[in-house]
Structure 1
Amino acid sequence: MPNIRILRDVAVRKGVKAHEVARRAYLACARNQALEPAVRYQAQLQLNNFGRYTRPTVVRNRCTVSGKGRGVIGEFGLSRYQFRLAALAGQLPGVQKASW
């Protein structure tokens, strides 16, 4: 059963993906110095009307198993501890225990 952190992370990523093009268009209009101030102001207001889960800065790397937000190994999407457990169990392709 996934915990709430994982479910929230999935919802955030979906929201960012769904609104990415519109946010970038409004942001480009708001930052364009050649446009009239009224147009730039309206674009900024539209940016402010987007929800919280549409901002790309809200997305964090989270462990797909435990939902932890710290110590995540990006290539595998697992926290350090979950990575270690999966590697010792032989569940990760190309990863094996070192023999010194």
Structure 2
Amino acid sequence: MPNIRVLRDIKARKGVAANEITRRAYLFVARNQSLPAQVRYQAQLQLNSFGRYTRPTTVKNRCTETGRGRGIISEFGLCRFQFRQKALAGELPGVHKASW
């Protein structure tokens, strides 16, 4: 069973994916200097009304096993320690210990 950090990261990824196009549209309007100030202001208010887990900055790479947020090998989604443990156990296809 994944821990709460992993579940929160999954929730954030789903929220960002679901609202990405709408957020980008509002962001484009809010930053477009050729539009009237009132329109840009309304777009900024709409951006601010989005929930916490719709912002791309809330997504953080975490280990899928432990929830650790540092030392993540993104290709496998594991932290370095879990990657080493699984590689030594032979659970990762195509990964083996280097020999001298």
Bin for the TM-score computed over the shorter chain? over 0.9
TM-score by length of 2: 0.98
Q: Distance in 2 between matches of 1:3 and 1:49?
A: 29
| RMSD, aligned CA | 0.6
The count of corresponding residues between Structure 1 and Structure 2 is 100
Which sections of structure 2, spanning at least 5 residues, go unmatched?
Answer: none
Structure 1: any 5+ residue segments left out of the alignment? none
Distance of 1:54 and 1:69 partners within structure 2: 20
**Residue 44 of structure 1: aligned partner:** 44
d(CA) in 2 for partners of 1:70, 1:97: 22
Q: How does 1:54-93 map to 2 (within 5 A)?
A: 54-93=54-93
**Percent of residue pairs bearing the same amino acid type:** 72
> What TM-score comes out, normalization by structure 1 length?
0.98
1:22-48 per-residue CA deviation (whole Å, 9 max, x = no partner) reads: 000000000011100000000000000
Match of 2:7 in 1: 7
Runs of at least 4 residues of structure 1 off by over 2 A? none
